[in-house]
Copies of this chain bind each other. A is one copy, B any other.
Amino acid sequence: MPDTPTPSLPCGFRAAGVAANIKKTGQPDLALIMSDRECSGAALFTTNKVKAAPVMRDMAIMQDHASTLRALVINSGCANACTGEQGLRDVDETAQLVASALGGTVTAEQVFVMSTGVIGVPLPMDRLRAAIPLAASELDTLGLLRTAHAIMTTDTVPKVASKQGRINGNTFTVSGIAKGSGMIHPNMATMLSVVMTDAAISADQLRLLLSKAADLSFHRISIDGDTSTNDTLLILANGVSGVTVETEEQQEQFGDVLNTVCQSLARQMARDGEGATKLITLEITGARDEGMASTVGRTIARSPLVKTAFYGEDANWGRVIAAAGYSGEDVNPQLMSLWFGPVLVFQNGIPAQYSEQEATQAIQPREVQVRLDLGLGDASATIWTCDLSHEYVTINGRYRT
């Protein structure tokens, strides 16, 4: 599947993205999604001890209302984090505003709320009061891409993925949007993302499948090693397609489609990391187990020295080996082999025979493949990251201004 498929909502979902003027730029900053039917849902939240107000509320909502969700509202431009009691009151009012705007068929407890943006600033409620009814009036079965636009912060492109599958001869759709860019490191959900499906599947099963999908996608990317106060990954299933996911085989079929959509969104996030000029795919093979492979991969993905070398197109493979060495895993450089693209640069503890020109060419494309074989076993993991550029520093030195 390409990373930019034709965006389409699963059956029974409608969506809108509008400008609420929370952002100073006048860009869209409010997304509203609703399902015609009650959805079962599951969510993964940030592991940060500092949780934004919407995260605190949504955690409670998912405890009691995970099988009766109807709508989701997301604002960008303001994280509603470190905002105290006022922040919690503002989330509640936001959910209430959505319920009212949807004409009384939806209750506030059926509304999930996400926020992303600057920390420590209260939500401008007057603007939400004006914009939520506007968004409700624009809900549309073709609105998926507009919601992806409205949740962007420093993202440069909207992130959308959609894929269909078949179970028992019937078609179902899984579609998702995500926002990424900074503060992204694999430590729980790591960003905002919503995945929707028109398959019918219980909240308990969704929780298991979402957790597996996240382990293979959002937990496999790293931008800068920061974990935000607002990270949330939500899945909603409304059953409108008539496809039911129950048996182990059906779960596997559904899980394959879900994993593909989540991996596509994760790759899109890594490629569009703040200031990124390259998507770097790190394949760690020959590990004793998958945990070792992914720990080594994440450590490399997090190293500023590795990331700046790729930005500068300097085939400085020693930094990759050194990062593997301080991953905390029991690795041995004598057993390692490292490839930049097709070029073997390091083998059994010493530099391989290769030309500097070949190695440099291998890391010049916008998509770079790196493979590190640890020589210890049969397990592997793939991690996606991006380079660290001047533009990253520019963006993050002046985020609020």
A51–B326 CA distance with the chains assembled, in angstroms: 10
- Copies of the chain in the assembly: 2
Chain B residues in 8 Å Cβ range of A395: 308
Interface check A319, CB cutoff 8 A: yes
Beta-carbon contacts of A40-51 to B below 8 Å, as 1s and 0s?
A: 000000111111
Closest to A308 in B: B396
A304 in complex: contacting residue of B49, B81, B304, B316, CB < 8 Å: B304
Beta-carbon contacts of A65-101 to B below 8 Å, as 1s and 0s?
A: 0000000000000010111101000000000000000
Given known pairs A305-B226, A308-B392, the reply for A333 and B398 (CB within 8 Å) is: no
CB of A75 to closest CB in B, whole Å: 16
Interface check A227, CB cutoff 8 A: yes
In A298-347, the 8 Å CB interface with B consists of 302-305, 308-309, 311-314, 316-319, 321-327, 329-333, 346
Q: Is A322's CB under 8 angstroms from B81's CB?
A: yes
CB of A317 to closest CB in B, whole Å: 7
Interface check A116, CB cutoff 8 A: no
Interface check A153, CB cutoff 8 A: no
Q: Is A326's CB under 8 angstroms from B49's CB?
A: yes
Interface check A286, CB cutoff 8 A: no
CB of A135 to closest CB in B, whole Å: 26
A309 in complex: contacting residue of B86, B332, B397, CB < 8 Å: B397
A187–B312 CA distance with the chains assembled, in angstroms: 27
A332 in complex: contacting residue of B49, B349, B390, B401, CB < 8 Å: B49
A329–B49 CA distance with the chains assembled, in angstroms: 8
Q: Is B50's CB under 8 angstroms from A324's CB?
A: yes
Find the residue from A79, A118, A229, A322 having the highest chain B CB count within 10 A: A322
Chain B residues in 8 Å Cβ range of A325: 48-51, 229
Interface check A228, CB cutoff 8 A: yes
Q: Is A311's CB under 8 angstroms from B226's CB?
A: no
Q: Is B400's CB under 8 angstroms from A389's CB?
A: no
**8 additional contacts (CB under 8 A) given A50-B331, A119-B322:** A49-B324, A49-B329, A81-B322, A82-B333, A227-B322, A313-B397, A314-B399, A390-B390
13 pairs, CB–CB < 8 Å, chain A vs chain B:
A49-B330, A50-B322, A79-B318, A83-B351, A84-B350, A119-B318, A224-B304, A225-B225, A225-B303, A308-B395, A308-B397, A309-B396, A314-B398
